[in-house]
Amino acid sequence: MDISGSKFLVTGGASGMGRNFTLNLAKLGGDVAFCDLNQDAIAEVEAEGQALPGKVVGFTANVAVEDEVVGLIRDVREALGRLDGVINNAGIFRDGLLVKSDRETGEIKKMSLKKWQQVLDVDLTGPFLVSREFAAAAVENGHGGVIVNISSISRHGNMGQSNYSAAKAGLVADTKLWGNELARYGIRTGAIAPGFVDTPILQGMRPEVLEKLLKLIPLRRPASPDEIFLAVKFVIECDFFTGRCIDVDGGQVL
């Protein structure tokens, strides 16, 4: 698929990697809709996109809410004329150990069901809903397309991230499954599994914590968002790629 002239949706597109994906696709001539919950950030990205070759338009939507996703896909298709690809980037963290014993009191603290469910809702159910609605529209109109799921190195299991690891592992499994199910309709899939990426989340860490994390990476640095976008670009442009996950993690192993 050529990016220039194609129409895309990026979820979580107003900050971090999503913002980068949105603007880079537009720089390459793609028309890009993106969704987020932060109105001010949406306005900033739309303003930055005005000078780019591709159209950039933002929407407010919570990907964990079915009715909002159904409306989002409808509205994006109306705004762009059609939809050729989606990048399921929206995600949240609610870290915590499964159980932890307080050293002083012996009290057992447990990861709450609320923390578990919040992450599964956004990071796994969200991509399911977006991909389902996109695929249904693509099949109905017979034009095919591509689904890019942003997973994580944490899919292998990262301490303190039972919820996030489960969601990101499930997303890779769905990428393979959907690749098989949707190939007959001309719809391809791909997952990207970044390691540590230089985004506001990483930049907000205490220096001593960040230093310890970077020592775990053979390349001794985080990825830039542009480096992750290269993998997204490959999945979109390579028409013989589907159902697989690309690790972009600097050689790190969990």
Q: What is the pLDDT of residue 254?
A: 83
User: Of 16-20, 85-89, 104-108, 225-229, which range is least confident?
Assistant: 104-108
185 is catalytic: no
Q: Whole-number mean pLDDT of the chain?
A: 96
- pLDDT tens-digit readout, 34-93: 999 999 999 999 999 999 999 999 999 999 999 999 999 999 999 999 999 999 999 999
Query: Would you place residue 129 in the very low, low, confident or very high pLDDT band (cuts 50, 70, 90)?
Result: very high
- pLDDT tens-digit readout, 217-235: 999 999 999 999 999 999 9
Q: What is the pLDDT of residue 40?
A: 97
Q: Catalytic one among 164, 178, 196, 229?
A: 164
> In the predicted model, is pLDDT for residue 207 greater than 80?
yes
> In the predicted model, is pLDDT for residue 206 greater than 90?
no
- pLDDT tens-digit readout, 148-189: 999 999 999 999 999 999 999 999 999 999 999 999 999 999
CATH number of 7-248: 3.40.50.720
Identity at 130, one-letter amino acid code: V
> In the predicted model, is pLDDT for residue 200 greater than 90?
no
> In the predicted model, is pLDDT for residue 20 greater than 80?
yes
> In the predicted model, is pLDDT for residue 209 greater than 90?
no
- pLDDT tens-digit readout, 233-254: 999 999 999 999 999 999 998 8
> In the predicted model, is pLDDT for residue 201 greater than 80?
no
Q: What is the mean pLDDT of residues 115-127?
A: 98
